[in-house]
Amino acid sequence: MGNVGSRVVRCWGSRSRLNIAEYLWVLAMLSILAFLENNRIGLYLIPPFGATLSILLALPDAPVAQPYSLVAGSVVGATVGTLLSFFSHGTLMAIVAAVAAFGIINLIRAYHPPGVALAMFPLLLHPGRWFPLAVVLPFTIIATGSATLLSRLVVGRPRYPKGLVSRDSTQLRRDRQSGSEQMTR
């Protein structure tokens, strides 16, 4: 059994290699959220925000970490949950909100997993009708902006966000380069 366990960890396990500046960034972001919540400004220190910070640190090149997916997916997810909370609350509606948000954020190509969780939040904890705009939107903008700054200041950190080069334009560039190489031969 020990051999299977070690193989599972070796093949499927993961570890994020962060330096002290990145840990300090997470500490600062979570501390700001805790400060806002402790001063009764609103519900800020919520699990989906911790997940968003983890995605920004561990997967900065992934599509789910890019600003459009992160901001739009989170805000749309929270909006779906908030709109449904006008009609009902509870676990069943939270499930409906999660499934609806999953479909909508995929439809608009803004998939961000914490956005699905944020859809459930208004139906379970009642943060108020302005939750998507007063809490989620500012957090996501500050998180992406500070992650961008972190990527510029920390040596060896991947550049965030990724450039706006589409796969089609990358392929077009390769085709042009190979065509020009053939012409020079």
- Asked whether residue 2 is domain-assigned, the answer is no
- Asked whether residue 30 is domain-assigned, the answer is yes
- Asked whether residue 22 is domain-assigned, the answer is yes
- Asked whether residue 182 is domain-assigned, the answer is no
* Mean pLDDT for all residues in the chain: 89
d(CA 122, CA 131): 8
E strands, the chain, where?
none
Total residue count of the chain as it appears in this document: 185
Q: How many domains does the chain have?
A: 1
Q: Mean per-residue pLDDT for 94-122? A: 97
Given pLDDT bands bounded at 50, 70 and 90, which one contains residue 134?
A: very high
- Asked whether residue 107 is domain-assigned, the answer is yes
pLDDT one-digit tens code per residue, 27-57:
999 999 999 888 877 778 899 999 999 999 9
- Asked whether residue 36 is domain-assigned, the answer is yes
Nearest to 120 by CA among 51, 38, 47, 41: 47
pLDDT confidence of residue 37: 84
Q: State the residue range of the domain holding 92.
A: 18-160
- Helix (H/G/I), strand (E/B), else coil: 47: helix
Q: Mean per-residue pLDDT for 84-99? A: 97
d(CA 125, CA 108): 26
- Asked whether residue 71 is domain-assigned, the answer is yes
Q: Which of 12-26, 61-75, 170-184 has the highest mean pLDDT?
A: 61-75
pLDDT confidence of residue 169: 61
* Residue corresponding to tokens 């890019």: 66
List the structure tokens of 36: 């806002």
The single-letter code of the amino acid at 1 is M
Nearest to 173 by CA among 159, 185, 158, 163: 163
Given pLDDT bands bounded at 50, 70 and 90, which one contains residue 63?
A: very high
d(CA 29, CA 35): 10
Would you say residue 135 has pLDDT above 70? Answer: yes
The share of the chain scoring above pLDDT 90, in percent, equals: 68
pLDDT confidence of residue 36: 86
CB 24 within 8 A of CB 57: no
- Asked whether residue 3 is domain-assigned, the answer is no
pLDDT confidence of residue 15: 74
pLDDT confidence of residue 168: 61
pLDDT confidence of residue 45: 87
Q: Mean per-residue pLDDT for 96-103? A: 98
More confident residue, 75 or 167: 75
- Output the CA–CA distances (angstroms, integers) from residue 31 to 50, 136, 139, in the order listed: 11, 16, 13
